[in-house]
A and B are shown apart, each in its own frame.
Chain A
Amino acid sequence: MDVTSFYLLLSITLFSIGAFGVLIRKNAIIIFMCIELMLNAANIAFVALSRQYGDLNSQVAVFFVMAVAAAEAAVGLAIILAVFRHYRTIEADQACELRG
């Protein structure tokens, strides 16, 4: 198995673990952290293929993913804070009513 296939396999496994976490956990902060895992899995795939083909454009894509993840962290945690103030819980299944 060559390096690129190894890293793509690692990326697939990490993405699946993250997706499983999003599906089974109900604590909003842990769901958020599992989304970060999935973003990192995508970044590993980008970097592995960048090395395979000697292409810098995919490294720039990783840079943009990081910028979007930072923006997502700020807004996502602010939403979690607002949900906690309103419902006194951050369990995703509890915050399920419109106009709550």
Chain B
Amino acid sequence: MNIAMIIFGILTLLSALGVVFSKKSLNSALFLVATLFFVAVHFALLNSSFLASLQIMVYAGAIMVLVIFVIMLLGLESDTEQVQRNIPVSVSFILVASLFSFLVFSLFNHEFLPASGENFISGAKEIGAVLLTKHLAGFELAAVLLLAAVVGAVTLAYDPRPPLPKGRGLSAMHKE
């Protein structure tokens, strides 16, 4: 374990806390971009260069553009919350703390088998070979899943009403 892992670990957790506790949803989204970048750094530190680049392209690129696009489309970038959730924060905290302590307890009571992958490097070539031979069925199913998601997203988001006059987006309607 080197110093870079510790520094980036702390940065990851701090930006994750930023996602949860930001008042504005746009700030949360930007903190999430930072978190995903730091997770990509961890993948690179663990010798998984292919997954690190995939993380930046798919998560920090594609998914976050979609999230920020929806936040701006709905005009929620300065929304702040007033109403409490149905579950009190203290109950949520107790639930999460018990989950956390259970997981840490089981982690420190577990003996790992001797490490065998210290010098193991997984680039696109190695992962591609496994993905297209042993996991070919899953790969094809992922393609079908993505197609179904595209069709489902269009069906759900399609608005049959006629388009609004100029300068009257969704958020303008919201303020009326």
Residues of B within 8 A of A48 (CB): 46
Contact between chains at B70 and A20 (CB < 8 Å): no
Contact between chains at B89 and A24 (CB < 8 Å): yes
Residues of A within 8 A of B138 (CB): 60, 64
Give the A-B pair count, Cβ closer than 8 A.
Answer: 239
**B interface, CB within 8 angstroms of A:** 1, 5-6, 9, 12-13, 16-17, 19-20, 22, 25, 28-29, 32, 35-36, 39, 42-43, 46-48, 50-51, 54-55, 58-59, 62-63, 66-67, 70-71, 73-74, 76, 79, 81, 83, 85-87, 89, 92-93, 95-97, 99-100, 103-104, 107-108, 112-113, 115-118, 120, 122, 126-127, 130-131, 134-135, 138, 142, 145-146, 148-150, 152-157, 159, 170, 173-174
What would be 15 A-B contacts, judged by CB atoms less than 8 Å apart? Answer: A10-B12, A16-B97, A17-B13, A18-B16, A27-B79, A30-B25, A36-B32, A40-B36, A43-B39, A55-B117, A57-B130, A63-B54, A73-B62, A77-B66, A81-B74
Contact between chains at B156 and A69 (CB < 8 Å): no
A95 located at the interface, meaning its Cβ lies under 8 Å from any Cβ of chain B in the complex: no
Q: Pick the residue among A47, A54, A84, A85 that contacts B48 (CB under 8 A).
A: A47
> Min CB distance, B11 to chain A, in Å?
11
Contact between chains at B63 and A51 (CB < 8 Å): no
Contact between chains at A54 and B59 (CB < 8 Å): no
SS of A interface (majority): helix
Contact between chains at B100 and A7 (CB < 8 Å): no
* A75–B154 CA distance with the chains assembled, in angstroms: 9
Q: Pick the residue among A56, A67, A70, A75 that contacts B156 (CB under 8 A).
A: A75
Number of residues of chain A lying within 8 A (CB) of chain B: 73
Q: Pick the residue among A5, A37, A56 that contacts B32 (CB under 8 A).
A: A37
Interface string of A8-20 (1 = CB under 8 A from B): 1110111111111
Once A33-B29, A79-B156 are accepted as A-B contacts, the answer to whether A24 and B20 lie under 8 Å apart by CB is yes
Contact between chains at B1 and A1 (CB < 8 Å): yes
Contact between chains at A50 and B76 (CB < 8 Å): no
